[in-house]
Amino acid sequence: DVETVKQHSICKERFPKSYRHPSLDKHITKSRLKAEAKCLARCRRNGVPCPSVLSIDLEKSCLFLEYLNGCTVREFFLLKTIDENSAEITHAEDDASKNNASPQQKRPRISSSSNGQEVSLTILTRTDSVAMQVAYGMGVLVAKMHNANVIHGDLTTSNIILQNPPLANNSSEEWLPKLYLIDFGLAGTAGSKGVSHEEKAVDLYVLERAFVSTHPGSDDLVLEFHRAYKKECTRSDAVLQRLSAVRLRGRKRECFG
């Protein structure tokens, strides 16, 4: 009923862009709203876990989606931070998952504390067996989306929801991650421009860069992701071959601008 929909849904609203001509802005906004809804529906039809579309209001530029509980994979991988005195500052997810974590460190950064003093913080990335399961599940999830010929356009660990973070008494053998893709605002259909493998490779490259910038020491997680993707994606060989070329272009851009 209506009350149930209100309690278990979210409204994603696209706001006007003042730098665009009003008529052009309205056309682009409506087009992207339709594309997002179509990509979500296509994913759902092909068994890709993602929010279901409950309603769409083109006039108000609103998309009503199923609400998903859980935490982002980004939050789950960022296990904790430690100050210069080794006093732990734990995330909410840390209380729910302490299965022999072997965190990787990121260089210290300076942050202001509540009393106005600067403290040195070190960001950690968990790479234990549970984290590896999540990384593998991410590979399966993205492979399913690409098998449905959908390109996400903004693949990051912030756009994947882990609905069932493991409890402290869960062992990795009996726990399986429930992952959902969200935020299809830049999504589209692969091959619409005749470059299906290229678009999928760019999707993977964007995710790789997200790991590098957000999750220090996550090389093993990326390898596990690729292992699952290679196994589950029907055209993985062609996509991963194209990914090598995309990486090369990315490195050239970083070197020469």
CB 173 within 8 A of CB 133: no
- H or E, element range at 103: none
Active site residue 154: yes
Question: Whose CA is closest to 95, among 170, 189, 203, 10?
Answer: 170
**Sole residue written with tokens 């093993």:** 220
154, 203, 220, 237: the catalytic one is 154
**Sole residue written with tokens 């660990």:** 157
Sorted by sequence, the CB contacts under 8 Å of residue 185 that are 6+ apart come out as 12, 14, 32, 36, 153, 154
CA distance 141 to 197: 17
CA distance 143 to 229: 5
- H or E, element range at 47: none
The type of residue at 175 is: W
CA distance 90 to 189: 40
Through-space distance between the first and last CA atoms of the chain, rounded to whole angstroms: 54
Two tokens at 123? 């960001």
Catalytic residue numbers? 154
